[in-house]
Amino acid sequence: MAGTLYRWLDDRLRLTPLEHTLLDESIPGGASWIYVFGSATLFLFCLQATTGMFLALYYVPSPDAAYDTVQFIQQEVPFGWFVRGLHHWGASAVMVAVGLHLLQVYLYGAYKRPRELMWMVGVGLLLLMMGFGFTGYLLPWDQNAYWATQVGTNMVASVPGVGDFLVRVLRGGDTLGALTLSRFFAVHTLFLPALMVCGIVAHLFILRRVGPAGPWSVDQARQRSEPFYPRQVSMDAMVMLGVFVLVAGLAWTVEFPLADRADPADHTFTPVPEWYFLFFYQFLKYMSGPLEPLATWVLPGLFILGLMLWPFLDRNPERQPSSRPVALASGAVFLALIFTLLGISLRERYALPTLDPSVARGKALFARQHCMACHRIHGDGGKVGPDLSYVADQRPDRQWHLRHFRDPSSVSPGSIMPAFPLAEKDLNDLTSYLLSLKSGTPTSPGTRAAGRHAHPQEDNA
């Protein structure tokens, strides 16, 4: 039946020449597992596009609805949490795959003549992937997404002459808000996919015209060759299946929770970008002050330009690694720098004490309600009300605090503290924060000053 259908279609669409073009291409040196990274990257991009389309069925790109629709996908849509998990972990997997593909091409010298254009298109595809990561990070509209994007767009302002204009273009105005979110959504789902498809088509077209580079040894490449099908196709398919199982396993077992809803007034929040931006995030810490423009656009711009033009800068015609010591040493130094910065950033991130989410929300609520105007914590704040530095040692009863917030005079007769008309969840979060204030709990100066940084007017209260 399948053979009959194929013959019917072939008689009308002439599929046989296309089949030969796609499957019978000769691979110098034969099939190899080292060539699977390009196919894995293409597969992961298709997975991202597919899961993204399903997520877009429910997502609404507005500050009022974005966070709620992501929560709806996560909690109410059947298997919505799984599709979102596939999209999240697929984003990390595609960055790993494209990095390994780029590394393999660099190591094998496959960017040399006549494949310079293929390398340049590949670098462009890498930049588009980074663009996907940057624009997609804002879409959940939680605290981490909002403030990480705020940091990212602010960096663009350091570009001389056009910095302010570029920031307004990115944000759709002077501030990060509704126009920014809709603009990022359009770029993430329309502009970047269109550019990516064009880039992939160009990359594959050039590959078919110039052919695979094969192994770096010319003698090995001349000794044997074999068509793309069946061995290389089988290897690629096995890797694609393995990658999907890995991503699906992570999506099934490791939840990717949202932070709190984006709050532009909460300047105490410290954002953390995705892991593939962490090395740059760490680099910026060492380049503050007058060196900041060097880190935000000078060095990145020179690096991208150098990477794009690398086939013309590396004039050595040899592809053998032993014959390219300068190129390999440059690549090794770059990788060592990237992984060192990434390691330092991860170490600092996980060395920080982590708060229970309820405690973190209660702490932010404590600052928003201007509680520091009346209460003192570790030397900071007013003296109208009791010192709360170790309130949990004195009052460890959660129910007492909840009753106190609802009606202070019911548990403290004569109290001048007003009742708090807060939702039950907010009352529990605020209570969780107070119960964390006890002796033996480390509190850094930065934590003590968080309320003042979020509400500087309280210093004058």
Residues of the chain with CATH 1.10.760.10: 357-460
Does pLDDT of 339 surpass 50? yes
Q: Which helix (H) or strand (E) holds 403?
A: helix 398-406
Q: Write down the H helix ranges in 352-397.
A: 357-368, 391-394
CB 227, CB 24: distance < 8 Å: yes
Per-residue pLDDT tens over the stretch 392-406: 888 888 888 888 888
**Regarding predicted confidence, which is higher, 376 or 456?**
376
Question: Helix (H, G, I), strand (E, B), or coil: what is residue 380?
Answer: strand
pLDDT of residue 149: 93
- Domain 357-460: CATH superfamily is Cytochrome c-like domain (1.10.760.10)
Residues of the chain with CATH 1.20.810.10: 21-351
User: pLDDT confidence of 453, banded at 50, 70, 90?
Assistant: very low
Per-residue pLDDT tens over the stretch 185-196: 999 999 999 999
- Nearest CA to 203 out of 289, 307, 117, 293 is that of 117
Q: Of 53-67, 155-169, 327-341, where does mean pLDDT reach its minimum?
A: 155-169
Distance between start and end Cα atoms, the chain: 83
CB 169, CB 162: distance < 8 Å: no
| Residue carrying the six token digits 């254009």 | 117
User: pLDDT confidence of 351, banded at 50, 70, 90?
Assistant: low
Does pLDDT of 441 surpass 70? no
**Regarding predicted confidence, which is higher, 230 or 158?**
230
Does pLDDT of 378 surpass 80? no
- Class (C level, CATH) for 21-351: mainly alpha
Token duo for residue 446: 């930065």
